[in-house]
Amino acid sequence: MAFNYKRLGIAGGLILLLGLLAVGCRNPFAPELGISASSLWTDQSTVGGLLQNFRNAYNYADSLHYADCLSDDFTFFYYDPDENRFDQWYRETDLSTTGRLFRHFQSIRLTWGSVSDYIENFSREDSLLDFQVPFNLTLDDLAPLYGFAHFTVYRPSGGRFQILVWRDDF
């Protein structure tokens, strides 16, 4: 038996149309990530967990998780080619700058290069660890940026790893 659209009338047609629109609409405040959130973020009890959260914060443009990766005493060092020297900024400037980067680009893809098992699994409390990790950062369709991130990380007793110092080494 075929459905008779003529019997619906104008009111019935509007109700059917609204029903179809309601079913077809997604909630823009609940985007689908494709993977469960519980497997996406770690407790940062290892350096590998910290690096995973840092990478995911970039890849999903998540400013809150990014901020959680940085210590309150965070310092970023970078080379200023105009001044021919290294310069630095602190946590608040970094959060502001990274937030603008997240808002400006539609597609951000950060990939870490090889990290040793020792660094990946390092979990000792009350310890500073200094290491370098290669990275590939792609922003929209621009040419990828390749370089090395030199990190100093710290995990206080009973706490999680956070980045104290990040120096860009190109």
Signed CA dihedral, 66, 71, 72, 78: sign only: negative
Range of the domain at 143: 41-169
Kindly state whether residue 30 falls inside one of the protein's structural domains: no
> How much is the pLDDT for 38?
57
- How many Å separate Cα 36 from the centre of its chain? 15
Give 3-state DSSP helix, strand, coil % of the chain, rounded to 5: 35, 30, 30
Kindly state whether residue 15 falls inside one of the protein's structural domains: no
- Report the predicted TM-score, pTM, of the whole model to 2 decimal places: 0.76
3 state SS of 2: coil
**Number of other CB atoms surrounding residue 44 within 10 Å:** 22
Q: Which stretches of the chain score pLDDT less than 70?
A: 1-38
> How much is the pLDDT for 170?
73
Kindly state whether residue 76 falls inside one of the protein's structural domains: yes
